Structure 1
Amino acid sequence: MIDLHTHSTESDGTNTPSDLMDLARDKGITTIALTDHDTCAGLEEAANRAEEIGIRLIPGIELEISFKPGEFHLLGLNITKWKEEMVPALHGIMNRRLERNLKMVNLINSEGIDLTYEQVVEEAKGQVIGRPHFASLLVKKGLVKNTAKAFEKYLAVGRPFYIEKEALSLREGIDLIKRAGGHPVIAHPMSLFISWGKLPERLANWKEEGIEGIEVWHSGAKPRKSKRLELIADDLGLFKTGGSDYHGDNRKDRPLGLGTGGKAVPIDPAIPFL
């Protein structure tokens, strides 16, 4: 089994990098990518633990890319030079994330909800702060029943408390991943909110810019949509990946090791690093 999209406590998951490796082994996963949001902080710990227990870690990252109308997340897989190339470039990204989080607090306060940035920091418990931590606080304050509802009502794109990040351009994201020795892959392409009629052309253009693969078998994708993505990827010569997008208890609907339809993630022989 493989899983090429997971998160740890270093971004917005609830398992430490070491615990995530242990859980992967227990579930029979032999190759796993740690792809925390905008950080490589968990990769060394994960790599050390993976080596100890005999599974393979693919060092990775998930970068936010500036895009409309939907969300564009770019996976960097097998970023073997992350220490030399990726870490120095991430400081500016983290500063922009802080500014966004403070703006979200102010927006929530403007609606009469008592929430402080200190509460968000406490909720994050040392993780990189993101929307899941805001969602958890909204649940604790009784505004919604669960975190999924918090996103649906308040935090998703177009909702009242959503603030767009000052994200990287696609060119910047691709260049950064490739400098780090990695392979740029479009994560969960349904979140782009591009029509099926326009998607092949957009993907073809992005391939010209350096995109190498697309995440076809995501845990949130329906089987018929994954099948369409498979056909598009094959037609364009893009390799296909898949993953759970595991976040631990923050997203219980995304079990580790499972992709589309709750099934094990297939292995595309065209993936260059497997």
Structure 2
Amino acid sequence: MSRIDLHLHTTHSDGSFSTREVMTFAKQAGVSALAITDHDIVDGIPEAIAAGQELSIEVVPGVEISSRFQGSELHILGYFINWRDTVLNERMARLRAGRHERNPRIVQRLNELGIDITYDEVRALAGTESVGRPHIARVLMEKKIVSSAKEAFDRYLANGRPAYVDRELPEPEEAVQWIREAGGIPVLAHPTWVRTSAEGLRTLLGQLKAQGLGGIEVHYSTHTPSQTTEYLELAKLHDLLVTGGSDFHGLTKPDIEVGIGRGGLKVPEKLLEPLRQAASAA
């Protein structure tokens, strides 16, 4: 049975490999269909579609939209979106602008901690309009200040750490609405990241389902078997579609590979058709 991967990042956001390189990795991993889901930007989709035609890989137009839930980020994936939608692109441009305002303040805080880093260095490394904390982490790695992106976040960049700076984000319900209005199916990304209790997650899913949430990311690189089972049960409880993906980023998550995650991930190909049908009916 073929595998799919509906959660991938490229250099258009915080991934370290180009769209073409990610597509090539997917072909090597035996992936039959995938979604490029860069953060708050869809610029990689045209190149992915073109490469997909050449490599015989179906490309689902996708995105990962950042939102705010109880003081922390919560991500909503969107599938089969109209990636040319003007309103969606304007909304995402505002989210990216929020990063541009925040990033220099993060760099300033790092400078105040005695770390020699400039925002020009971060932008040069990113090479894209969508610059974020993972790019700052990579500069810290290149300067040997930290040994990994995880260390950069744990020591400096994560919420509550000394260089963290907040930014304005929509509520999860708004992110769901944005995706619906662009013709897509909204899906809760990596539910294990949601900072709430098991009961809180059930409540949140019920609330978001009422606002148009269509699915939950059950299969994910770092989910344990028990978590996968738990999220499958939640999908059934709330009548949500089941999706999955590696959340491949490249250098900032070096243990995660396209299509296979940490080695044991296999998102079944059969999950794609219900998602496609839901999008057609939307």
TM-score class, shorter: over 0.9
C-alpha separation in 2, matches of 1:83 and 1:48: 19
SS in 2 for 1:74: strand
Which residue of structure 2 lines up, in the alignment, with residue 67 of structure 1?
69
Contact 1:239/1:270 (CA < 8 Å) preserved in 2? no
Cα deviation, residue 34, structure 1: 0.3
Aligned counterpart for 2:188 among listed residues 181, 186, 189: 186
C-alpha separation in 2, matches of 1:81 and 1:147: 30
1:259–1:213: structure 2 CA closer, same or farther, 3 Å change rule?
A: farther
Which residue of structure 2 lines up, in the alignment, with residue 175 of structure 1?
177
Aligned counterpart for 2:259 among listed residues 247, 257, 260: 257
- The residue identity in structure 2 corresponding to 1:56 is E
**Please, which moves more after superposition, 156-165 or 81-90?**
81-90
C-alpha separation in 1, matches of 2:224 and 2:33: 24
Contact 1:70/1:157 (CA < 8 Å) preserved in 2? yes
Q: Is 1:273 aligned with 2:276?
A: yes
Aligned counterpart for 1:132 among listed residues 120, 131, 134: 134
Q: Describe how 1:23-38 pairs up with structure 2 within 5 A.
A: 23-38=25-40
SS in 2 for 1:86: helix
> How big is each residue's C-alpha offset from its partner over 1:66-100, in whole Å with a ceiling of 9 and x where there is no partner?
22243301101111343444323322122111001
C-alpha separation in 1, matches of 2:20 and 2:272: 28
Q: Describe how 1:77-92 pairs up with structure 2 within 5 A.
A: 77-92=79-94
- The residue identity in structure 2 corresponding to 1:19 is E
1:57–1:269: structure 2 CA closer, same or farther, 3 Å change rule?
A: closer
Aligned residues: 274
Cα deviation, residue 55, structure 1: 0.9
For structure 2, the residue ranges without an aligned partner over 5 or more in a row are 278-282
What TM-score do you get using the length of structure 2 for normalisation?
A: 0.91
C-alpha separation in 2, matches of 1:159 and 1:95: 23
C-alpha separation in 2, matches of 1:26 and 1:261: 14
1:150–1:259: structure 2 CA closer, same or farther, 3 Å change rule?
A: same
C-alpha separation in 2, matches of 1:71 and 1:150: 18
What TM-score do you get using the length of structure 1 for normalisation?
A: 0.93
Which residue of structure 1 lines up, in the alignment, with residue 280 of structure 2?
none
Contact 1:59/1:79 (CA < 8 Å) preserved in 2? yes
Which residue of structure 1 lines up, in the alignment, with residue 46 of structure 2?
44
C-alpha separation in 1, matches of 2:161 and 2:154: 8
Contact 2:4/2:267 (CA < 8 Å) preserved in 1? yes
SS in 2 for 1:32: strand
Contact 2:219/2:265 (CA < 8 Å) preserved in 1? no
- The residue identity in structure 2 corresponding to 1:272 is L
C-alpha separation in 2, matches of 1:201 and 1:171: 13
Identity of aligned residues (%): 36
Contact 1:38/1:64 (CA < 8 Å) preserved in 2? yes
Which residue of structure 1 lines up, in the alignment, with residue 229 of structure 2?
227
C-alpha separation in 2, matches of 1:206 and 1:67: 12
